Amino acid sequence: DIQMTQSPSTLSASVGDRVTITCRASQSISSWLAWYQQKPGKAPKLLIYKASSLESGVPSRFSGSGSGTEFTLTISSLQPDDFATYYCQQYSSYPETFGQGTKVEIK
Amino acid sequence: EVQLLESGGGLVQPGGSLRLSCAASGFTFSSYAMRWVRQAPGKGLEWVSAISGSGDSTYYADSVKGRFTISRDNSKNTLYLQMNSLRAEDTAVYYCAKAIGRITIFGVVIMEGYGMDVWGQGTTVTVSS
């Protein structure tokens, strides 16, 4: 199975900060990676697919990059609505797997 | 509006069974692969199972293989997850999710479903005596 490792596990930041979350795959997954945002008690929301494609309706301050084994999710200017937990997910092969999550907290 | 609505969760004793349902609306259900994803209390997301649009292909996480069965009824626009031999560690909120689409090259399907763009609200399964 492909292991997905996110860092950091928790991130403290202020409104307006530029935030970067890293996701590493245990083997190459090409660009078959998605990013999700989840708020407490809610279902996850798709932000990015195919490593860098922005889902319709998602603000342009979110961006994704990377290929192979290393990927990043960047929030260019953190907004109050962005405090949440973020997960990467590989869909290169079954079983699909998620990273352990990165919680973005208010500093 | 594209919607997914799960049902069937509840309290069940260890070793028991439960069938979850996910009713889909607002899209051509048979054209999309579907997934089940779960989240144990206070934990991260865990991919559980996937099924192709036709239902011909199914996939499972090692943690549920041999105990859970994913299926779909395209005439009823409904996805199912039959869960047998339930364990305490299966306690979680279970989400169904729709794949974004499929990827084909020169008419050959190279990826039946990728990503998850629509999620249900989740249904809670508690396994406890």
- Per DSSP, the residues of B86-118 read --GGG-EEEEEEE--EEEEETTEEEEEEES--E
Measure the CA–CA gap between B110 and B103, rounded to whole angstroms. Answer: 6
Under the phi-then-psi rule, with left for phi > 0, alpha for psi from -120 to 50, and beta for the rest, what region is A29? alpha
The structure tokens listed for B16 are 């028991």
Cβ-based contacts under 8 A for chains A and B: 61
Contact B35 A46 (CB under 8 A): no
The answer to whether the Cβ–Cβ distance between B122 and A32 falls below 8 Å is no
pLDDT tier at A94, thresholds 50, 70, 90: very high
Sort B75 into a burial class: Cβ within 10 Å, 0-12 / 13-18 / 19+: exposed
pLDDT in tens, B89-118: 999 999 999 999 988 889 898 888 889 999
Say if the Cβ atoms of B45 and A1 lie within 8 Å. no
* Minimum-distance CB partner of B122 among A43, A95, A101: A43
Structure confidence at residue B110 (pLDDT): 84
pLDDT score for B103: 85
Average confidence (pLDDT) over B1-17:
98
Angstrom distance (rounded) from CA B70 to CA B90: 15
pLDDT digits (tens, 9 = 90+) for A31-89: 999 999 999 999 999 999 999 999 999 999 999 999 999 999 999 999 999 999 999 99
Rounded distance between C-alpha atoms, residue A11 and residue A18, angstroms: 12
Q: Using CA atoms, how far apart are residues A52 and A42, in angstroms rounded to an integer?
A: 24
Q: What is the pLDDT of residue B17?
A: 98
Give, rounded to a whole angstrom, the gap between the first and last alpha carbons of chain B.
40
Residue A5: pLDDT over 90:
yes
pLDDT band at B60 (very low <50, low <70, confident <90, very high): very high
